[in-house]
Every structure is written in C-alpha cells, then in structure tokens.
A = this chain, B = another copy of it.
Amino acid sequence: MAAKKMAIIATKGALDMAYPPLILASTAAALGWEVQIFFTFYGLQLLRKDLSGIAISPIGNPAMPMPVPMPVVVSMLPGMEAMATSMMKAKMKKKGVASLTELRDLCQEAEVKFIACQMTVDLFEFDKADFIDGIEYGGAATFMKFAGETDVCLFI
C-alpha cells in the first residue's frame, strides 16, 4: 500500500495557530505519511531561524482561556500582548508541550518538505538569510499539483 500523503497550507503566524501545522505534520510523518507544508502569508514567520518573535494576542479572541477574566480595554494596554505570550509559553513548558522550534526540527528530521511561497517572500520583502536551511522556494501552482495527489489537504 502506498504511503498516505498530506499537504498543509500554513498561513498564520501567531503563537496559537503556529502549532497546528507543525503538530499535524510531525504526527502524520510519524505515521509514515509523505508531508509537504506550503508556508505563505504570515505562515512564513514560522520559517525564521529565530522564533522568539512569535506572539499571541488576546485581542479579538474571546475564546482564549485567560488566567483572569479581562475586559477588552485592559487587554489593549501596553505590554499585554507580551504578557499573554509569556504566560502561554510558560504554561506550555510546564505541561511538557514541545516548543515550536522542537516541533519544526522533528518535522525536518522526519523529512517533511517545507516550501516557502516565493510571491509572499517578495511581497513582504522577507530576507532569506533569516530563514532556516533546508527549505525550498516555490509557487502555488507547483504546490497544487502535489495537493491534488494527497489524501488530506488542510488550509490553516
């Protein structure tokens, strides 16, 4: 039986939505699937060598479990984004959740193919020197050809 295939289009760059592509890709790769992730729009932030800038915002997300209930105006104050981010990171560390960098390494060791969207790189003037090694640059058309052969294709 041929290996299952999965394609992921990763478009988000905030801390919470940065996890799903990497968790799902590493999980599928561990099951022996062939996986490709196409990083585009804000998803390109996940390819930076330094992921410490990946943050989370409590604003506009009433579903985020917060340690203390917080009116919107308070979540707006200077420093609250940094505070939410560091609280979330501390909670993940305490609970033994792998960091984004660890999950990304896992994916690369399991031969998940990382493709950076060339158009977005040009549009936002990302510096390729800021990105990790071992990634390819490509366009939507090439990626769609792979996507058309997959068992699971997700837009995240």
Number of copies: 3
Mark contacts of A17-61 with chain B using CB atoms, 8 A cut-off: 1 yes-contact digit, 0 otherwise.
101100110011011010000001110010000000011110111
Docked complex: A59-91 residues within 8 A CB-CB of B: 59-65, 71-73, 76-78, 80-81, 85, 91
Number of interface residues of A (CB under 8 A): 66
Shortest CB-to-CB span from A94 to chain B, Å, is 9
Q: Are B80 and A72 in contact (CB under 8 A)?
A: yes
Binding site for B on A (CB under 8 A): 4, 6-7, 9, 11-14, 16-17, 19-20, 23-24, 27-28, 30-31, 33, 40-42, 45, 54-57, 59-65, 71-73, 76-78, 80-81, 85, 91-92, 95, 97, 119, 122-124, 126, 140-141, 144-145, 147-156
**In the complex, which residue of chain B has the Cβ closest to the Cβ of A143?**
B27
Q: Are A144 and B78 in contact (CB under 8 A)?
A: no
**In the complex, which residue of chain B has the Cβ closest to the Cβ of A20?**
B11
Residues of B within 8 A of A126 (CB): 65
Q: Are A27 and B144 in contact (CB under 8 A)?
A: yes
Residues of B within 8 A of A56 (CB): 62
